[in-house]
A = this chain, B = another copy of it.
Amino acid sequence: MTDKPFGVPFMLSYDLSLIPLMVDLLIDERVPVVLDNGLLDENIYQKFKTAGTKIICRLPNPNLADALKAQKLGADILVLTGFDEGGTLPMKEVGSFSVLAEFVGKVDLPIMLAGGIADKKAVQAALTLGAEGIWVGTAFIATKECRASVKVKQWIVDSTANDLFLFRTEPYYYRSLPTELAKQCFQMSESGASRADIAKVMNAGTGMRLGMLEGDFENGYVSVGNGIGAINRIKSVQEMIDELMS
């Protein structure tokens, strides 16, 4: 499909028993870069290091202890996520503007900032705040090539961060475009429902597939970040990246 370098996350589902199989597969296939979503497992890091695979570590809850552990285990890049991202959010409400301050100068790894980066200004701000790279999600959803429903892409173009709904769920918070399901979860969250009860209503994998791939805004949710205010039309991936890096 491509002769360009690419990376693969080794945690593809919440079924952790698949991870050893994925690790061996990625090494066998000589995938050059892998993503650790914060498992920080010493044996897995050792296997990848031995194979010469580069490891990007993205901490679900950015904190200095885990960052230093990633460094010690041999991660090559650290991704720190601010509370401006979409979907499943960190426990602490530390925005992309503030999340790096605690790490810059204390961690000896290149840092990528994630959360709300969808235009050139945001890229430049991330670098100003101390990031050496950026991690982009939502801006890829609004591209021509993305498998998301065209209804989702258009809704992103037509919306701003003020339109999004944030609600409590497992493990902490979730941010979605205001689908009927997201509104229901928000109302439950406001009324003091438990995180477990809200998570049941979200219907995790299914709710995401319905909302994002099928454009079913009754029964699904649509995970996008606070950067959507800067997304004003559906572009090709090439155009989008060219604009971000211009």
Contact = CB atoms under 8 A, between A and B. Distances in A.
A97 B115 contact: yes
Per DSSP, chain A at the interface is loop
Contacts of A192: 191-194
Contacts of A84: 94-95, 97-98
Which of A62, A98, A116, A125 is most buried by chain B, counting CB atoms within 10 A of its CB? Answer: A98
- Interface bracket on A: 35 or more
Contacts of A95: 82-84, 95-98, 115-116, 226
Interface of A: 62-64, 82-84, 92-99, 101-102, 115-116, 118-119, 121-122, 124-125, 128-130, 160-162, 164, 166, 175, 191-194, 225-227, 229-230
Given A96-B98, A191-B192, 15 more contacts: A83-B93, A93-B175, A94-B226, A95-B95, A95-B97, A99-B161, A101-B121, A101-B122, A101-B161, A102-B160, A102-B229, A121-B128, A124-B128, A192-B192, A192-B194
